[in-house]
Structure 1
Amino acid sequence: MSTHRNWAGNVEYAARAYYRPSSVDELRELVAGSDRIRAVGSGHSFNRLGDTTGDLVTLTGLPATVQLDEHRRVVHVPAALRYGDLATWLHERGYALANLASLPHISVAGAVATGTHGSGETIGNLATAVAGLELVTADGGLRTVGRGDADFPGMVVSLGVLGIVTRLTLDVVPTFDVRQYVRLDLPRAALDAALASAYSVSVFTDWRSTLGTQVWRKQLANQPAPPADWLGTTAADRPWHPVPGMPVVNCTEQLGMAGPWHERLPHFRLGFTPSNGDELQSEYHLSRAVAADALAALDEVAHLIAPVALTSELRTIAADELWLSPQHGRDSLAIHLTWIADPTKVLPVVVEVERALAPFAPRPHWGKVFTITRAEIAPTYPRWPDFAALVARLDPTAKFHTEELERLFPR
């Protein structure tokens, strides 16, 4: 087969074959006849969680029908649809999603399966909008689950280990407008107030000081602009990019200009390269209650982080009840690190970051670079044993397992 890599280029998939079925029935036949199989989405994971030595399947050839149910306030979408394309489609019909990630380029199913998130004190991650799933199971069967079903909380953030999701049903809300303001040089003492100050807030830092170098405030358009002296910061008088030196044209509109939700909640525009492009990423989710102490612990290794980090982002996400969601049972602070694209320099620093955060029960983002072991991760998830039992029941031959998943959920 030809070489296939993830978006960052740091993972070359080891699959023996690569398929693009054109129908759900064709996908079901592939799954039933394979001993090892995985679905690949937009490739925005930075580890080997989605890799397999078996068959790799892209769902971009399946029917791309999107159906809006205005009565139930839900939309039915194909798994491979990108959030940016879905958002445009919804906005044209007067609807929105409550939250979006910083990149609109990611596929719906992949983002949901890994617990990917946006930002907001009262907003859950993207998976919390899921009202139902359709998936192909290990025997080639087709199963549909929805809220209220016993297995549902364990099947949404599933890491792709329970089956291949073909369609999802998502909650929608009426469309809305957002204004985005960037503020500079936030004092650490004002971090909590900043994160709680708007609909969606991101604080960027370079770990060279305890200041937040940039604060991206995404506020509802009908809310007043921040005052000139807001939390001791200064207002940006030009657009900014989170990564110094990158072109600001890649980023969504700033300077307080009102616009539709899907053109402000992401950091990056759909038609441009997101973030830096040539990078690695790590991210850790901690209880909001320990945020100050966790950041103080990272200050001790900031001299190691700064030389290999392109930028770092702090965000908050509301708690949920999905078994493998990084926000399960706790309002969370996400500490995101965008690294240079050099694993030999980055991985030793990742180890030190994880050592510093260990007392605070960190949960790594499932699709990013981490070295924390099963023994360290599992105790932070109260429903871990229930999920492991669900995996054993729905995929007894480990058809959807990968080498990474074997470490997390050994047979």
Structure 2
Amino acid sequence: MPRRNWAGNVRYAARRYHRPSSLDELRRLVAGSDRIRAVGTGHSFNRFGDTTGDLVSLAGLPAAVTLDPDRRTVTVPAAMRYGDLAAWLHARGYALANLASLPHISVGGAVATGTHGSGETVGNLASAVAGLELVTADGDLLAVDRARDGDTFAGMVVGLGALGVVTRITLDVVPAFDLCQSVRLGLPREALDAAFAGAYSVSVFTDWRGPRLREVWVKQRAEDAPPPADWLGTTPADGPRHPVPGMPAENCTPQLGVPGPWHERLPHFRLGFTPSSGAELQSEYHVPRAAAAEALAALDPVAHRIAPVLQVCELRAVAADGLWLSPNHGRDSLAIHFTWIADAAAVLPVVAAVEERLASYAPRPHWGKVFGIEPARLAAAWPRYADFGALLRRFDPAGTFRTELLDRYFPR
């Protein structure tokens, strides 16, 4: 098992590491532990998933995947990577409505933190969850369902690993579809909304070094007409691109408008290759989509501080949902994602400056990335924040799944 997260900036403090091979073994482990957390692929940049007790990988549990064509759902192990699930689904004629930029992440970890892709009519990955199976603090196995458990279920999906060890997840599926991906250069900032509306999934990249947004990655359904050569004042890229300057384009999914399966176009990165740059820190903030232009303008005065410690900034649209701790709860959002250099001493003061500039837009951070917003400000940004704290105390009164960071943001 890894002793550090994927980026290497967090060294886990766990005393013991476990990889159970059966559900019963996991249940006994949870029931006998005073502190335990599950770890997935380690693509988290903070200590929400860390513990001084037991750290458990679910990768050794049975890997059965169950498709229900009548309900249009698939039930999968929480430890399964999205890239592996996507290939399995596509072979059977089905798809997920959206994927994150990298297919390397586990389903359980992505759902628990509100991870997302892009698409103004598509929700984040957690919004596709129809059911959860989890081992609670006393070792019991609990199944919850969207249709049956309603509001409580909405509080449990983006659960930060704080309510139990999620073992299996049921997701909505749709018929498989093809996409074309192309890269456009030099988008005027005032055309950002039009760009998001121009395709099924759109990601915009900038370096905060000039007035125009550097690249637009356009992922459109194969049956739709391609954008014209002068689309929104941009020009077509002359070859494949990588979002991070200087990184090899072969790490990325096919571009240049070549049609292909949804799971080979929605992610930016290919499963067998290093995603992003590998040596990095990440932060991300979700602000109301209606305030996108204002929020970006609010960052302009600190652009001179952002640019020197930035590898790339990605802007994405995410549709609203009803999940209590989702960054997109109750509002369509603009996600402002920063891939920083791997130097915490240089980056953290800039993160604080970004948060201060965005403060009036009630920014909601991605739960798995680097942020330092005060607990009171986060509590004000989520209408159901206090309700989640009550749910946490109800499901885990002894603090079995607690961490230092959870205690900071959700005091007992």
Deviations 1:268-307 (A, max 9, x none): 0000000000000000000001111100011110000000
Equivalent position amino acid for 1:251 in 2: C
4+ residue stretches of structure 1 with deviation over 4 A?
none
Q: Quote the Cα distance in structure 2 between the aligned partners of 1:393 and 1:369.
A: 28
Give the match's secondary structure for 1:42.
Answer: coil
**Corresponding position of 1:113:** 112
Q: Quote the Cα distance in structure 2 between the aligned partners of 1:82 and 1:126.
A: 13
Give the match's secondary structure for 1:262.
Answer: helix
**Corresponding position of 2:173:** 172
Give the match's secondary structure for 1:131.
Answer: strand
Contact 1:99 1:265 in 2 (8 A): yes
> TM-score, with normalisation over the residues of structure 1?
0.99
Equivalent position amino acid for 1:268 in 2: F
**Corresponding position of 1:183:** 184
**Corresponding position of 1:129:** 128
**Corresponding position of 1:34:** 33
Matched, 1:146 2:150: no
Q: Quote the Cα distance in structure 1 between the aligned partners of 2:196 and 2:2.
A: 42
Q: Quote the Cα distance in structure 1 between the aligned partners of 2:263 and 2:213.
A: 25
Give the match's secondary structure for 1:300.
Answer: helix
1:284-363 correspondence runs (5 A) = 284-363=285-364
Q: What displacement does 1:204 show?
A: 0.0
> TM-score, with normalisation over the residues of structure 2?
0.99
Give the match's secondary structure for 2:253.
Answer: coil
Q: What displacement does 1:196 show?
A: 1.2
Matched, 1:387 2:388: yes
Q: What displacement does 1:237 show?
A: 1.5
**Corresponding position of 2:67:** 68
Gaps of 5+ in 1: none
Contact 1:323 1:381 in 2 (8 A): yes
1:40-119 correspondence runs (5 A) = 40-119=39-118
Matched, 1:206 2:211: no
Give the match's secondary structure for 2:282.
Answer: strand
Gaps of 5+ in 2: none
Q: Quote the Cα distance in structure 1 between the aligned partners of 2:223 and 2:303.
A: 38
Contact 1:178 1:220 in 2 (8 A): yes
**Corresponding position of 1:269:** 270
Give the match's secondary structure for 2:357.
Answer: helix
Q: Quote the Cα distance in structure 1 between the aligned partners of 2:6 and 2:197.
A: 32
Give the match's secondary structure for 2:247.
Answer: coil
Q: Quote the Cα distance in structure 2 between the aligned partners of 1:358 and 1:380.
A: 10
Q: Quote the Cα distance in structure 2 between the aligned partners of 1:175 and 1:237.
A: 29
Deviations 1:190-209 (A, max 9, x none): 11101111000000000001
RMSD: 0.7
**Corresponding position of 1:367:** 368
Equivalent position amino acid for 1:367 in 2: G
Q: What displacement does 1:210 show?
A: 2.2
Equivalent position amino acid for 1:321 in 2: G
Equivalent position amino acid for 1:225 in 2: P
Give aligned-pair identity as a percent.
73
Q: Quote the Cα distance in structure 2 between the aligned partners of 1:277 and 1:157.
A: 26
Q: What displacement does 1:189 show?
A: 1.1
Q: What displacement does 1:385 show?
A: 1.4
Q: What displacement does 1:3 show?
A: 6.6
The aligned length equals 410
Contact 1:3 1:12 in 2 (8 A): no
Q: What displacement does 1:173 show?
A: 0.4
